[in-house]
Amino acid sequence: MLESSEPPRARFELDDRGFDEVPRKYRKYYRKWLGDGDELAPNEVFCPVCKIVVRSTREIREGDRIYCMACMTRMRVVRGANGQLEGRVEY
């Protein structure tokens, strides 16, 4: 399988960053984008629809599916023109 030939993914313990726009049980999956100077961790992707940061318990890679609950959007992770990973909306 393709997955097994890749290095294992880093795992992340998600903490509550105070994102209060989703039910409490989902809060840890999201945080606000802090603007210039903010950086995405390996387990984070920027939501292009509502401009927040989506977080995962594992390192995010190209081809992954992620969900933004703040704007109810499903995304596929792609590598953008600048080489960074970003979410592309799937309808």
Partner 1 sequence: MTGPAGIASDVHAARPEDFRREVRSFTFWLDSVREYVPSAYGETLPPDDVAKEDRDALVTVLSSYIVGETMALEGAGALVRTAPNREAKIFLATQTADEGRHLEILTQRMNELGAPDIDHAIRTRVNPFLLEFRDRLLELVEAGRWEHALFAQNVILEAMEFAAFCNHMENADPRTRAILEDIVKDERRHIGFGENELGRALARDERLRNELARLRMELDYLVLGSFEHTLSELRIPARERPTVKRSYLDAVARLGFA
Residue ranges in contact with partner 1 by CB under 8 A: 20-26, 29, 48-52, 56-57, 64-74, 89, 91
Give the integer Cα–Cα distance in Å for 2 and 56: 21
Nearer to partner 1, 79 or 89 (CB): 89
- Classify residue 36 as exposed, middle or buried by CB count within 10 Å of its CB (0-12, 13-18, 19+): exposed
Q: How far is the CB of 39 from partner 1 (least distance, A)?
A: 20
Q: How far is the CB of 79 from partner 1 (least distance, A)?
A: 18
- Classify residue 43 as exposed, middle or buried by CB count within 10 Å of its CB (0-12, 13-18, 19+): middle
Q: How far is the CB of 52 from partner 1 (least distance, A)?
A: 7
